[in-house]
């Protein structure tokens, strides 16, 4: 899908209206797929988003020697007779979640090697809590300039207190502990919906994981796991991005297959801004977003779930850039997640940033111009800004967007947006940012 020199030409001023389906969760899929390595029986994972990250996952499974089929949003993985316990460097660098192969391979074959993972450059993204967890389970962890290698001779359950409720560390420890001997307790665990999704998948494979979604996850190690079919949850962040896009255009959009309970933090903020958010009242999983006129300012502080998700901070900042009044965003999870504001500034946005706090002075209207996506959610923010802006916004570096959003322009165009995916001819020329 991704081509290096493609860009999105977003024509501003079109109102979004109609129905759209939420795709399967990227971060849920990235947590669930590696767990298929914990059995030699086939697992079929359904409702996967067709995004670049899924193709990288498929390639990692193939490189490890698993049999994989991937089509129509489902991946069948049969991890019998693995060839190696090392993830190739080129693939590891393509996505953050390659680090989940540390826990999954350790759990399955007692050793793993993963070069330092890639992913969005939004902060230092340390791994000390992952390593602490592996060591507590009895593994030996070696780190050098190339990456991380781990060895264990039969893992044993342990109590692991996380200094911060890291999503990645919680998932990695769950993957490693499912087949360990005895009981593991992860205290101060992450509570994100995709952590619960992984627990449900592991339990469907025969594991004993309790308490996912609370501060303490208890895992009773089992001797073996079996294959199964499993569908991942809808994408919380794609749903949120669509909700914000609907609000940004004074739209009326029904997102089907979305889980309102996962969206409570965003919904609360949108309501505060004057947006109408409700379900269809029919009991089905869906969210309707309606907005009209200029929205009001709000303050936001990103926090681990159920707080306001850092992944929606960037799209939300685009919405706030044209809201009435001054909004303050405090980013507590990642230290470099405001780089997109420089791009929004090119479009006429007014911001000051100091450390982890951004102050946004809402302007009446943004103006379209060429901009650069600096990471995945920055790309989504710029598309939303383009929908609101006067004139044409050219969003470049869209390989970031294609990593995490399934056909973003097709979904938005089906709702009435006017976005073209074009190939660049000649060099990219963008004036220096303000």
Size of the site for ligand EPU (CB under 6 A): 28
Of 147 and 362, CB closest to ligand EPU: 147
Distance CA 295, CA 291 (A): 8
Name, in order, each residue with C-beta under 8 angstroms of 196's C-beta and a sequence gap of 6 or more.
Answer: 212, 213
Q: Binder to ligand EPU among 125, 226, 290, 339 (CB under 6 A)?
A: 125
- CB-side exposure of 206: number of CA atoms within 13 Å? 13
Which run of H or E residues covers position 53? helix 52-64
Q: For residue 172, state whether it binds ligand EPU (rule: CB under 6 A).
A: no
Judged on CB neighbours under 10 Å (0-12, 13-18, 19+), 284 is exposed
Rule CB under 6 A: which of 328-347 touch ligand EPU?
Answer: 333-334
Q: For residue 129, state whether it binds ligand EPU (rule: CB under 6 A).
A: yes
Give the interface segment with ligand EPU, choosing from 140-148, 164-172, 387-395, 416-424 (CB under 6 A).
Answer: 164-172
User: Is-catalytic flag, 43?
Assistant: no
Q: For residue 120, state whether it binds ligand EPU (rule: CB under 6 A).
A: yes
Q: For residue 123, state whether it binds ligand EPU (rule: CB under 6 A).
A: yes
Report the candidate in 368, 412, 371 with the shortest Cα–Cα distance to residue 390: 368
Distance CA 200, CA 208 (A): 10
Q: For residue 121, state whether it binds ligand EPU (rule: CB under 6 A).
A: no
- For residues 298 and 267, is the Cβ–Cβ distance under 8 A? no
Q: For residue 75, state whether it binds ligand EPU (rule: CB under 6 A).
A: no
Site string for ligand EPU, 270-309 (x = CB under 6 A): ---------------------------------------x
Q: For residue 27, state whether it binds ligand EPU (rule: CB under 6 A).
A: yes
CA distances (Å), 364 to each of 188, 276, 321, 324, 348, in order? 43, 21, 9, 8, 10
The least distance separating ligand EPU from the CB of residue 110, rounded to whole angstroms, comes to 22
- DSSP letter for 144, please: -
Among all residues, which ones are annotated catalytic?
120
Residues that bind ligand EPU (CB under 6 A): 27, 30, 96-97, 120, 123-130, 164, 166-169, 192, 237, 309-311, 333-334, 376-377, 404
């Amino acid at each position: 899908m991704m081509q290096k020199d493609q860009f999105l030409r977003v024509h501003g001023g079109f109102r979004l209206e109609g129905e759209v389906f939420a795709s399967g969760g990227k971060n849920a899929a990235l947590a669930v797929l590696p767990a298929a390595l914990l059995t030699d029986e086939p697992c079929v994972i359904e409702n996967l988003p067709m995004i670049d990250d899924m193709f990288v996952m498929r390639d990692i499974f193939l490189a490890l020697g698993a049999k994989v089929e991937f089509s129509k949003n489902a991946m069948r993985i049969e991890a019998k007779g693995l060839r190696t316990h090392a993830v190739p460097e080129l693939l590891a660098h393509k996505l953050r979640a390659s680090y989940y192969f540390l826990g999954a391979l350790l759990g399955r074959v007692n050793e793993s090697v993963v070069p330092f993972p890639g992913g969005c450059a939004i902060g230092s993204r340390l791994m000390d809590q992952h390593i602490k967890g592996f060591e507590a389970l009895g593994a030996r962890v070696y780190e050098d300039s190339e990456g991380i290698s781990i060895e264990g001779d039969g893992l044993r359950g342990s109590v692991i207190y996380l200094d911060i409720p890291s999503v990645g560390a919680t998932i990695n420890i769950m993957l490693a502990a499912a087949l360990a001997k005895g009981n593991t307790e992860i205290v101060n665990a992450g509570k994100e919906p995709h952590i619960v999704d992984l627990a449900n998948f592991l339990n469907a494979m025969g594991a004993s994981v309790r308490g996912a979604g609370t501060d303490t996850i208890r895992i009773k190690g089992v001797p073996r796991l079996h294959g199964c079919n499993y569908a991942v949850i809808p994408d919380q962040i794609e749903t949120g991005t669509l909700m914000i896009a609907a609000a940004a255009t004074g739209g009326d959009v029904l997102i089907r297959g979305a889980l309102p309970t996962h969206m409570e933090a965003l919904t609360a903020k949108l309501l505060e801004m004057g947006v109408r958010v409700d379900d269809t009242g029919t009991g089905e999983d869906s969210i309707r977003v309606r907005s009209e006129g200029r929205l009001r300012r709000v303050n936001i502080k990103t926090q681990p779930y159920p707080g306001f998700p850092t992944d929606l901070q960037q799209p939300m900042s685009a919405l706030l850039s044209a809201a009435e009044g001054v909004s303050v965003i405090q980013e507590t999870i990642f230290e470099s997640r405001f780089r997109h504001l420089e791009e929004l500034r090119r479009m006429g946005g007014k911001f000051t940033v100091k450390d982890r706090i951004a102050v946004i002075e809402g302007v009446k209207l943004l103006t379209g111009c060429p901009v650069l996506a600096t990471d995945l959610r920055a790309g989504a923010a710029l598309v939303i800004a383009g929908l609101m802006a006067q004139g044409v916004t050219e969003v470049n570096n869209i390989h970031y967007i294609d990593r995490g959003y399934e056909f973003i322009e097709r979904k938005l165009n089906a709702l009435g947006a006017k976005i073209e995916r074009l190939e660049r001819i000649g060099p990219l020329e963008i004036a220096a940012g303000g």
